[in-house]
Every structure is written in C-alpha cells, then in structure tokens.
Amino acid sequence: MTITESKRILVSWIGRSDISASQENAQADRGPVACAIATQDFNLAVLLSDFPERETTLYVEWIRRKSPCLIEFHVVELANPTNYDAIYTIVVERIQAILACHGLSSKLTFLLSPGTPAMAAVWIVVAKTRFDAELIEASRQRGVQAVHIAFEV
C-alpha cells in the first residue's frame, strides 16, 4: 500500500454465530465476520466483543488462521448488550481511536450482521451521523452485500 492509498477497515461486533463457527468442524457455517473478511479486500478488521476474553481470544486465533487480513480485537464490558447508550459510547470511542491511529482517510466498513439488533442499529446511526462508512451484511444464504439506507439524518 502506498502512502496515498487509504486503508480499508472493517469494524464489527463478534456475534454468537461467529463464536459457534470457530468451535464447529470444517463443515460449519463460517459466520458473518469470517465471510466478510474472506470475500472483501480489507487491510484491517477491528472486532468488538462482549464475550468473555478467553472465548474471544480463541475466536480471534481461529479467524487469524483463515485470513491474511490484520485482526485487532477489543473485549468490552456491556452489562446489557441491548443498551443503546453503552453500545454507542463504545462504538464511537473505538472508531475515533481507529481514525486517530490509521488516518482520517481510512475507508470504514461496518458489518451489521453480528451482535444484537441494538448493535446493528448503532452502526447505522453512526454511519449516517458521525462517520462516513459503508454498511454491509453477511449471511450464508446471500453472502456479503452492501446495505443501502434510503434516509439521511
């Protein structure tokens, strides 16, 4: 990557289906995060997890073996994974740290599929109000697709 090129950075929660995929055999669904990383050209994936640190670490070790993409993860404490205020605060702080470290010209992509509906809603809100980011979803049935939200905030 040259100095003028922007980094493509995926930012996502780790969801239960991601954790489950890493604990199953090779025939199992690989989960939305692994699917997004495998099919898109990201320089870095920043993963947020409210799962226990050991479970998260095992997942990250698994996904690192499956992708050349650099993986960074952050275990966060959420008393309630549907608390919009807490999720919003964590997401905004992490994105600000990403941009401070990797540059304001970084191209952000938020993966909506893993995590709770509240987590997905927060990605949409911050993409529409605070940070210029692409939104994507990933599923076994349809693969990875761009998500277009037809409103402005």
CA–CA separation, 92 vs 131, rounded Å?
A: 9
Name the token pair of 21. Answer: 């995929």
96-120 per-residue burial string, b: 16 or more CB within 10 A, e: under 16: eebeeebeeebebbbbbbbbbebbb
Confidence bin at 127 (pLDDT 50/70/90): very high
pTM of the model: 0.91
Q: Check residue 4 and give its pLDDT.
A: 47
**What's the whole-number average pLDDT of the chain?**
91
Q: How would CATH label the architecture of 8-146?
A: 3-Layer(aba) Sandwich (3.40)
Q: Check residue 26 and give its pLDDT.
A: 53
Q: What is the mean pLDDT of residues 5-14?
A: 92
Question: What whole-number percentage of the chain has pLDDT above 90?
Answer: 75
Question: Domain spans of the chain?
Answer: 8-146
Sequence-ordered alpha helix ranges (H) in 10-150: 16-23, 31-39, 53-66, 84-102, 117-129
CA–CA separation, 39 vs 21, rounded Å?
A: 17
